[in-house]
Amino acid sequence: MQPPSRDGSNDGTALMNLSAIIGRIEETVEAETASIRTDIRFDIKASNARKSRYLYELNKAVSNLGEQSLGHEHRDSIVRLREKLAANEAAVLAHLNAVSEVAALMQEAIQRAEADGTYTANEFGRTAAQA
């Protein structure tokens, strides 16, 4: 019989739960990374909420186990997950940069459309000088 972990459950069950959590996070991160790159209608807010919930579960599971209970397979899974999260971060940053560029282009277009010369400071100055 295995000794209980910090939360009172046995480490075997906790380790199986850890494997399941890591698997869910990997699937979510991979799906998000692929969708950010290909689907303009992708709901990044919902995906981020799911990812945050799973990362919270992971943190809770690891803290309940303690580092001594983690085997090489779990450490390898966490390293693999870290790599996937780094790729996900790069995709999210690229997406945010693209959104910022589009917003800046739209802002410039709006400013050009509004600045047709009718209400510029120069027009008011000329009218006052001519009067």
Number of domains present in the structure of the chain: 1
Q: Is residue 61 in some structural domain?
A: yes
pLDDT tens for 3-20 read 444 444 456 677 778 889
Domain that holds residue 32: 11-130
Q: Flag whether 112 is in a domain.
A: yes
Q: Is residue 28 part of a domain?
A: yes
- Does residue 5 fall inside a structural domain? no
- Tokens representing 46 are 């919902």
Tell whether 78 is covered by a domain.
Answer: yes
What digits encode the pLDDT tens for the residues 58-83? 888 888 776 667 778 888 988 999 99
| Domain contains 3 | no
Question: What number of residues does the chain have?
Answer: 131
* Residue 82 CB-half CA count within 13 A: 6
For residue 10, the cross-strand partners are 4
Would you say residue 2 lies in a domain?
no
Report which of residues 89 and 62 the model is more confident about.
89
